[in-house]
Amino acid sequence: MKSYSRILYAEVPRERIALFRFLLEAYDNLALMSVVDRYRAVIKIRCTDAGLNTVRNVLHAEGAKIIELDKRPSGKEKHINAVVPG
């Protein structure tokens, strides 16, 4: 059984960015997190297929909103436009 990595983007409360990193990495290295936009508090999360549901549950339980990013021709994430899946 192959395991692939998944990438999620989420908006989180700014004051809780450090908490999210701690929760995701302390939960048996469930996921790796990086901050994409510190002003809007958008984080990028990389996890395995096996951990995807757990990551989504943690994000939801802690008040995060999973978002999709507009793809830009340059491929840069510095300035992002988020689209909330609906």
pLDDT per position as a tens digit, 16-47: 999 988 888 888 888 999 999 989 999 999 99
CATH code at position 24: 3.30.70.250
Contacting residues for 54 by C-beta, under 8 A, at least 6 apart: 27, 30
Residue with tokens 């909103």: 65
More confident residue, 1 or 13: 13
If one counts the domains in the chain, the total is 1
Span 38-77, pLDDT tens digits: 899 999 999 999 999 999 999 999 899 999 876 554 555 4
- The predicted model scores a pTM of 0.73
Q: Tokens 């002003």: give the residue.
A: 39
**What are all long-range contacts of 17-26, with beta carbons under 8 Å and residues at least 24 apart?**
17/41, 17/43, 19/62, 20/59, 20/62, 20/64, 23/58, 23/62, 24/55, 24/58
Domain, as residue range, for 51: 5-83
d(CA 40, CA 22): 19
